Chain A
Amino acid sequence: MSGMKTPVSVLRLPRGPEPNSRGFDPTSPRFIALCPTTLPSSSSSSGSADEEEQRLRAELRERFLRTLLLMTGKRVRFDMHEHVRVHARFGASDIDVLNLQVCDLETPLGVQREALLRSQDVIACSFEV
């Protein structure tokens, strides 16, 4: 008998997680209402402080990107989690800096010709300029 029942219709399925974001949309009504904004608001009193913050952010970002450029082709020391320290020749990073392409990665198991390091595993990198 139950096989003849009509299933309840749904408008759509629940939305799943976004692949590249942790969510908590800052443009959602709840976020806007409950959180103090860090982005420029329309009031002039906070305008200059926000502009300064934006300028500093832009400067730091540019420094970071130039560092990546400078690192290209150089032998870099990567300090990673669990007290791992490896050396490799740095190639490039992907657009979101999620992965770092390296060659001749020196590991306790031998030298890996080509490898990808996960950025989230890397604590620091150092190299001779």
Chain B
Amino acid sequence: MAMRQTPLTCSGHTRPVVDLAFSGITPYGYFLISACKDGKPMLRQGDTGDWIGTFLGHKGAVWGATLNKEATKAATAAADFTAKVWDAVTGDEVLTLAHKHIVKSVNFTEDSTCLLTGGNDKVLRIYDLGKPEAEPLEIAGHTSAIKKALWCNNDQQILSAADDRTVRLWDKNTKEAVKTLAFDASVSSMEYIPDGEILVITYGRTIAFYNANSLDLIKAVDAPASIHSASLHPEKDFFVAGGDDFKLYKYDYTTKEEMESYKGHFGPIHCVRFSPDGELYASGSEDGTLRLWQTAVGKTYGLWKCVLPEELSSENSEVLYCPPAEIKA
């Protein structure tokens, strides 16, 4: 029986949600962090969207947020010219790393010992979290603000996307650019999938997939509207994308065909990511909300419950909430 997707709305932010990231799968489940222009990044339980805590301390919009694999540490990048490292269990601020301009992106290495930052001063910085007083390693080269910087290839290389319309692959040790990709439009987002070495890049209305080592193009798909973010399913059978028209699109990765589109957000979508188990994806929007969407609509998972037709009218039903039928515009 075909079912209609019920997105779960996570409220709490008071301004646009501009970035989000999942942790890996831990003994306590997996977690989700959201970056918001209200300056208060939040940690949530990944499979339910339940709020766990808010990281308080930044004095400006938070542009980037990330968790380490174990969800024990969080890092945030903000308009107050700092990147901060947090204890993701207690919510305490652990480290403040001063920068010379707005910081846009933060990324931990696999072992969480180093933090990569990038922002409007166009320089990539690598901080050794064991020696926070030491000067960071700096990699210069981009001619415009850096939007996103990610570790790749076992943390030996770095991928960065900037407003200079390039994506560059750097060697961490030589600090040289190994490869550069140039685009006609600004790159809106980047996602790195270590398993399979795939890089997902969005620009204009295009979602493009590259080999992360060679930066060779694998395939590209054009969406009906300008896309701000896309994410590839861990099993690489689907990818999802969202952007200017407030809708979330789901595509078959193999055939590149659009499978579904979902309305729900009341503003452009800024970020979208699949959960580490691929069972759901989260989207962050200009409307200030995060929404969780099921990959397999109708499956019992997290807060979603598969209810058979006879159970819906049964008095013994444990289902407390059934969304009303929406009026189609």
Chain B neighbourhood of A31, CB < 8 A: 89-90
Contact among B2, B56, B320, B326 for A12, CB-based, below 8 A: B320
A22 touches B323 (CB 8 A): no
Q: Which of A46-81 contact B (CB under 8 A)?
A: none
- Interface positions of B (Cβ within 8 A of A): 1-6, 8-12, 28, 42-44, 48-56, 72, 89-91, 292, 294, 297-298, 303-307, 309, 312, 318-323, 325-326, 328
**Chain A residues near B91 (CB-CB < 8 A):** 22-24
Which chain B residues lie closer than 8 Å to A22 at the CB level?
53-56, 91
A contact residues around B323 at 8 Å (CB): 7, 9-10
- Interface segment among A13-21, A83-91, A92-100, A111-119: the answer is A13-21
A11 on interface, CB distance cutoff 8 Å: yes
Once A16-B11, A23-B51, A25-B52 are accepted as A-B contacts, the answer to whether A8 and B319 lie under 8 Å apart by CB is no
Chain A contact residues: helix, strand, loop or mixed: loop
Q: Across the interface, do A30 and B9 meet the contact criterion of CB distance under 8 Å? A: no
A62 to B279, CA, bound (A): 52
Is the CB of A34 closer than 8 A to any CB of chain B?
yes
List of A residues within 8 angstroms of B48 by Cβ = 14-15
A residues sitting closer than 8 Å to B (CB atoms) are 2-3, 5-18, 22-26, 28-31, 33-35
- CB atoms of B304 and A8 under 8 A apart: yes
User: B60: shortest Cβ distance to chain A, in Å?
Assistant: 14
Question: How far apart are the CA atoms of A7 and B307 in the complex, in Å?
Answer: 10
Q: How far is the CB of A68 from chain B (nearest CB, A)?
A: 24
Chain B residue at smallest Cβ distance from A8: B6
Q: Which residues of A contact B305 (CB under 8 A)?
A: 8-11
Q: Across the interface, name the chain B residue whose C-beta is closest to A14.
A: B49
Q: Which of B4, B90, B294, B298 contacts A2 (CB 8 A)?
A: B4
The answer for the CA separation of A18 and B52 in the assembled complex, in Å, is 9
Bound-state Cα–Cα, A109 to B90, Å: 42
Question: Do A3 and B325 have beta carbons less than 8 Å apart?
Answer: yes
Determine the chain A residues whose CB is within 8 A of the CB of B43 once the complex forms: 23-24
CA distance A9 to B49 in the complex (A): 16
A24 CB contacts on chain B under 8 angstroms: 43, 52-53, 89-91
Query: Which residues from B are CB-within-8-Å of A30?
Result: 28, 89
Q: Which residues of A contact B326 (CB under 8 A)?
A: 7
Is the beta-carbon distance between B321 and A12 smaller than 8 angstroms? yes
- Residues on the B chain within 8 Å of A5, using CB: 2-4
Among A2, A12, A28, the most chain B Cβ lie within 10 Å of the Cβ of A12
Are the C-beta atoms of B318 and A14 separated by less than 8 Å?
Answer: no
Question: In the bound complex, how far is the Cα of B233 from the Cα of A86, in angstroms?
Answer: 57
CA distance A15 to B53 in the complex (A): 11
Residues of chain A within 8 A of B3, CB atoms compared: 5-8
Q: How far is the CB of A36 from chain B (nearest CB, A)?
A: 10
What is the minimal beta-carbon distance from A22 to any residue of chain B, in angstroms? 5
Given A5-B3, A23-B51, check contact A35 B90 (CB 8 Å).
yes
CA distance A6 to B90 in the complex (A): 41
Contact assessment for B11 and A9 in the assembled complex, using a CB-CB cutoff below 8 Å:
no
Rounded to whole angstroms, the CA-CA distance of A8 and B2 in the bound complex is 10
In the complex, chain A residues whose CB is within 8 Å of the CB of B306: 8
15 more contacts with CB within 8 A, not counting A9-B322, A31-B90, are A2-B4, A8-B304, A9-B307, A10-B6, A10-B8, A10-B303, A10-B305, A12-B303, A15-B48, A16-B10, A23-B43, A23-B52, A23-B53, A23-B91, A33-B28
Enumerate 8 A-B pairs (CB-CB under 8 Å) in ascending A order: A8-B304, A11-B303, A11-B305, A15-B48, A15-B50, A18-B51, A24-B52, A24-B89
